[in-house]
Every structure is written in structure tokens, then in C-alpha cells.
Amino acid sequence: MQYSAWLRQIDQGQVAPVVLLHGPEAFLAEEAVARLTRVVCSDPALLAMSRDVLEAREAGADGVVRVESFGPKQAEPLIAYLRSPNPSTVLALCVLTPLTPSHWLAKAVTPASVVDLPQLAGRALASWLRSRASSEGYELSDEAAQLLMTLVGDDPAALAGEVAKAALGGGAENRRVGVAEVRAVVGEHRSREVFELTRAVEQKDAAVALPMLERLLAGGEEPLRLLAILAGQVRRQPAPAAPARLFRCWQAERRLKTGGPPRPELALLVADLCRA
């Protein structure tokens, strides 16, 4: 079953006594269990008495909730339970790797109880982020989702946190998150990435510096401001190559101010500074 379809089911109160969640996204697994918990046990006061979370290696198959390394022989008590689960409880099995249909655990659970946790990247990540924002009561524009991914990266947990911060940045009653709201709250990310860019250049690590430069430019950072920061860093370095590096910064500034394309000009500059 697709993750989105399963979410719709549990939101409608359709909860099976067993669910097998499998896939590589740990954050999705945590969120799925949290959402399931809210449906099954809506009273927070009873939660401590109503939920147990056990690790497979520590608890053994008799009490397992999360299954990672058992084979069918070691898990015979669990397989027996899955054939006839207690209808008054919900057993959530979380496996943080994709399982094939032939895996013993996938075969022990009814197909309708197997939920695929998707790998989030690209458009799938943007779509998930917008859907999650909607479930939290926010309207996240596609442009804002793409900008967040450019500025923050592809970590679902970090992206989810930034959506909430962006919404709050627009005011207590604001429920819409657009490009303006995102840009208003991600300043700390930019500051950190600018620092990481200069550090990577100082360490001559072009593999880190060039993608960082691209993210900053894609996020709306002013090319001349980045150039000024890079030139300032060169001035602070008492090295024999400093005059040549400053001259290279001056060349880049002249080209930018006479209509040169910012991305390739700055990329070439950063690559040269990393080689110098």
C-alpha cells in the first residue's frame, strides 16, 4: 500500500491490528508511528500506559515492535502472532530498509497491512512536503517548497521544521507559506552556508565549495555580496599567493559589473581560489 493511501485510511479511523512500515526514510517511519499513536490513543494522559516501543535485538521476537535482523526461525513467535493478532491492540512493525514481497516478514503480514515508505527526493520530496504542510494546516506553495529544498537540503525533518518556522514568521494567524515567508526565516541557513563556503575555499575544497555556492545563488544571494565576502577572506590571509588571489577577485568583479553571467563567473572564481 502507498504511504499516502495508508495515511488517509488511519485519518478516517481505519486502523488494522498489524501494520508493517518499511523503507529507507527514518523520519517518515517516526512520523507514521506518531500519527498512528494519535489515532489509536488520543488521550495523552493514557499514552504512557498504552504504548510500548521495543527494539528487536533487545526484546526478542516475543515482544518485538521493530524488526530489523530476525530470520524466520528466530521470529516464529512473532509469525504465530501475526496469523491471529489481538484485535484490541495495534502492532506497528518498522523496518528501515525496503522489503521484497518474498521476505518472510512481508509474507507473514496481509498485503493490505504492508505500507511502503517512499524514498523522498526531487519532486517526490516537494510533493510530500506540501502534503505534510497541508496536514498541519499550512498552505505551502510549490515555489516555496522548491526554495526550501534549495536552501535547506533534502533532509525531511529539517524541511518540516523550516515550514513551521516560515509560517510563524508570517504572523501568529498566518497559514500560507510562500517564497517571501521562506526567505524571511532562512537567514540563519544562509549565514551558515556563507561561512561554510568561505571555510571550504580556505581549505581548498572545491567539492564542497561549488555546490554551496550554487545553493546560495539559487536561494537569491547577491553575487556581488558573495564576491565581496570571498575577497575579504583573501585579504585576511597573509599568504604569498594573496595578491594574485585578490587580482582574480578583481577580475571577477569587473566581469560581473560589465554584464558577465554571475553563476559561471563565481563558479570559476571559487574553483580558481580553491586551486591557488
- pLDDT band at 36; cut points 50, 70, 90: confident
Least confident of 37-41, 56-60, 253-257: 56-60
Whether residues 199 and 178 share a domain: the answer is no
Whether residues 16 and 80 share a domain: the answer is yes
Whether residues 223 and 132 share a domain: the answer is no
Whether residues 179 and 264 share a domain: the answer is no
Whether residues 154 and 170 share a domain: the answer is yes
Whether residues 149 and 226 share a domain: the answer is no
Least confident of 25-34, 59-68, 210-219, 260-269: 59-68
64 Cβ neighbours under 8 A, 6+ residues apart: 54, 56, 70, 75, 78, 93
- What is the arithmetic mean of pLDDT over 161-179? 77
Domain with 217, as residue range(s), is 188-275
Residue 221: per-residue pLDDT = 79
Whether residues 106 and 136 share a domain: the answer is no
What is the count of structural domains for the chain? 3
Residue, of 71 and 137, whose pLDDT is higher: 137
Would you say residue 223 has pLDDT above 70? yes
Would you say residue 65 has pLDDT above 50? no
Q: Which of 142, 189, 180, 139 is nearest to 162 (CA)?
A: 189
- What is the arithmetic mean of pLDDT over 221-228? 86
Neighbour-count burial of 93, counting CB atoms closer than 10 A to its CB (0-12 exposed, 13-18 middle, 19+ buried): buried
Q: How far is 1 from 246, CA to CA, in rounded Å?
A: 58
Whether residues 10 and 112 share a domain: the answer is yes
What is the phi/psi pair of residue 116, to 5°?
Answer: -85, 120
* CATH code of residue 80: 3.40.50.300
Whether residues 237 and 256 share a domain: the answer is yes
**Terminal Cα distance for the chain, rounded:** 54
Q: Could you give the strand order of the β-sheet that contains 18-22, starting from the edge strand earlier in sequence? A: 91-95, 18-22, 114-116
Whether residues 170 and 216 share a domain: the answer is no
Whether residues 40 and 98 share a domain: the answer is yes
Whether residues 126 and 172 share a domain: the answer is yes
